[in-house]
Amino acid sequence: MRTALLRIVATLLPALALPASASSAGPAPLETVMATLDQAVFDSFNRCADPAQLALHAAHFDPQVEFYHDTGGVTQDRRAMLDNTARHACGRYTRQLVPGTLQVHAVKDFGAITQGQHRFCDMEGQHCDGLAEFVMVWQQRGSQWQITRVLSYGHRPNLPAAADKPPAGCDHPSHLPVAATES
């Protein structure tokens, strides 16, 4: 299984290269590139019960990625991180970026740092119970981007707001709103 997964990852790596903007103005702004990458990495995470989607998710991470999770501990390579993802998240939770929280910071001669808030939603109960902060360090090699470090911390309950409506971007009408995180 792992050998097959590694072959799929190697096949998918070129797909992570983002082409320059189709316009003659040049490459897309870094904020747009990083928002697109954030969406892609978590679209595959949200479907990772499918082995092809788990392999696509894996391709976004450097083989020596370090992942620091305040309640889950530390993993120091992609294989260990994926084992944890498959065991604890795939088919159980989806991740949603809290709208308006993604921040992007360029790192000279390396890549970028992204940070923001995300919530985790139970796939069976169709509700978002968890909220956390994240930081990701992305390295650019040519036109390819990979995540080299992840911090996921400040995990806490996603407390309901006074409004009786789902937050923007939720896939399920029963999702609880996020208190004091959206403007």
Of 44-53, 115-124, 156-165, minimum mean pLDDT range: 156-165
CATH number of 2-12+29-157: 3.10.450.50
Region 156-162 average pLDDT:
73
Whether residue 14 has pLDDT greater than 50 = no
Of 16-30, 52-66, 74-88, minimum mean pLDDT range: 16-30
Measured CA angle at 78 (ends 7, 1), to 5 deg: 40
**Which residue did the predictor score with more confidence, 135 or 162?**
135
Q: What is the 3-state secondary structure (H, E, C) of 83-119?
A: HHHHHHCCCCEEEEECCCCCEEEEECCCEEEEEEEEE
Region 46-62 average pLDDT:
97
Residue 132 forms beta bridges with which residues? 118
The pLDDT assigned to 6 comes to 43
The pLDDT assigned to 25 comes to 62
CA neighbor of 65 nearest in space, from 16, 152, 115, 136: 136
Phi, psi of 130 (to 5 degrees): -115, 145
The pLDDT assigned to 47 comes to 97
Region 136-163 average pLDDT:
89
Whether residue 16 has pLDDT greater than 50 = no
**CA–CA distance, 106 with 102 (Å, rounded to integer):** 13
Q: How far apart are the first and last CA of the chain?
A: 44
Whether residue 168 has pLDDT greater than 70 = no
Residue spans of the domains in the chain: they are 2-12+29-157
Q: What percent of the chain has pLDDT over 70?
A: 72
**CA–CA distance, 23 with 137 (Å, rounded to integer):** 28
For 67-107, how does the pLDDT look when each residue is reduced to its tens digit (9 = 90+)?
999 999 999 999 999 999 999 999 999 999 999 999 999 99
**Which residue did the predictor score with more confidence, 72 or 24?**
72
Quick one: DSSP state of residue 168?
A: T
Whether residue 177 has pLDDT greater than 80 = no
